[in-house]
């Protein structure tokens, strides 16, 4: 048994103060928007997507601000983050997009990511009709699926059958564990916790904890602060 004591340290991302982005970044985004079409902006983003310098990070933010429906202040865009149809995406203030995260939008879809959302590395979002409210923690490798094939008729390959798009909603303050999977049509309630590796097939009640495959109710969070916020 380890003799190392458990310790507690203050949260960093969720408590940081968000300041307005500098005016030169806003001006750069506007300049890029007027000088390049979406394809050109995507190519420019690719040139700086994996860079480690502050300059690379500035260009990533500027290009995404030029492309996205909304792009807030104080957003961190990690290396290798991939977007499809960023014009359908809204990102609130103070967000963090971890390295190699993938946001797979749809040309007629919508994706809204609220303020202070932390998205871990290698997360995947089938962002066809997706809302993630404010102050959500999203574990590394966790995934959202927003659509599924109907599988009908049965005399053709499943991948040739129609797609059924179902909305996914992640309530404010929720925490999604490492490698969890949220299936189409699911709503995760405010302040809920989804355990690592869980596969969520049904709605999760506010301030509850679920885990397992498929995810099952474990217990209600009984902290007095959470109870008072319902």
Check whether residue 164 and residue 84 sit in a common domain: yes
CATH number for position 178: 2.160.10.10
Domains in the chain: how many in total? 2
2, part of any domain: no
176 strand-pairing partners:
138, 194
Check whether residue 203 and residue 102 sit in a common domain: yes
Q: What is the pLDDT of residue 52?
A: 95
Check whether residue 106 and residue 166 sit in a common domain: yes
- pLDDT of residue 225 exceeding 90: no
Q: Give residue 30's domain range.
A: 21-67
150, part of any domain: yes
Average pLDDT, the chain: 94
Q: How far is CA 132 from each of CA 53, 128, 157, 169, 222, rounded to the nearest angstrom?
A: 29, 12, 33, 6, 24
> Which residue has tokens 């394809």?
39
172, part of any domain: yes
Give 89's pLDDT tier (boundaries 50, 70, 90).
Answer: very high
Mean pLDDT throughout 87-91? 96
Whole-structure pTM value: 0.91
What's the pLDDT tens digit per position in 33-54? 999 999 999 999 999 999 999 9
Give 86's pLDDT tier (boundaries 50, 70, 90).
Answer: very high
Lowest-pLDDT range of 13-22, 62-71, 81-90: 13-22
- pLDDT of residue 220 exceeding 70: yes
134, part of any domain: yes
Check whether residue 63 and residue 83 sit in a common domain: no
């Amino acid at each position: 048994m380890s003799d190392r004591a458990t310790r507690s340290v203050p949260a960093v991302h969720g408590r940081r103060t968000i300041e307005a982005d500098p005016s030169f970044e806003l001006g750069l985004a506007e300049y890029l928007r007027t000088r390049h079409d979406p394809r050109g902006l995507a190519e420019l983003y690719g040139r700086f997507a994996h860079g480690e310098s502050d300059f690379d990070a500035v260009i990533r933010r500027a290009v995404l601000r030029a492309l996205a429906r909304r792009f807030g202040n104080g957003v961190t865009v990690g290396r290798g983050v991939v977007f499809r149809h960023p014009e359908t995406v809204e990102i609130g203030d103070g967000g963090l997009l971890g390295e190699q995260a993938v946001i797979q939008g749809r040309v007629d879809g919508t994706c809204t990511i609220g303020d202070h959302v932390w998205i871990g590395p290698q997360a995947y979002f089938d962002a066809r009709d997706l809302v993630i409210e404010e102050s959500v923690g999203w574990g590394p490798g966790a995934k959202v699926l927003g659509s599924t094939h109907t599988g009908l008729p049965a005399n053709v390959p499943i991948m040739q059958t129609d797609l059924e798009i179902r909305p996914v909603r992640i309530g404010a303050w929720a925490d999604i564990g490492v490698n969890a999977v949220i299936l189409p049509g699911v709503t995760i309630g405010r302040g809920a916790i989804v355990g690592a590796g869980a596969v969520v097939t049904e709605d999760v009640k506010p301030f509850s904890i679920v885990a397992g495959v498929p995810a099952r109710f474990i217990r209600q969070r009984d902290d007095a602060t959470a109870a008072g916020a319902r």
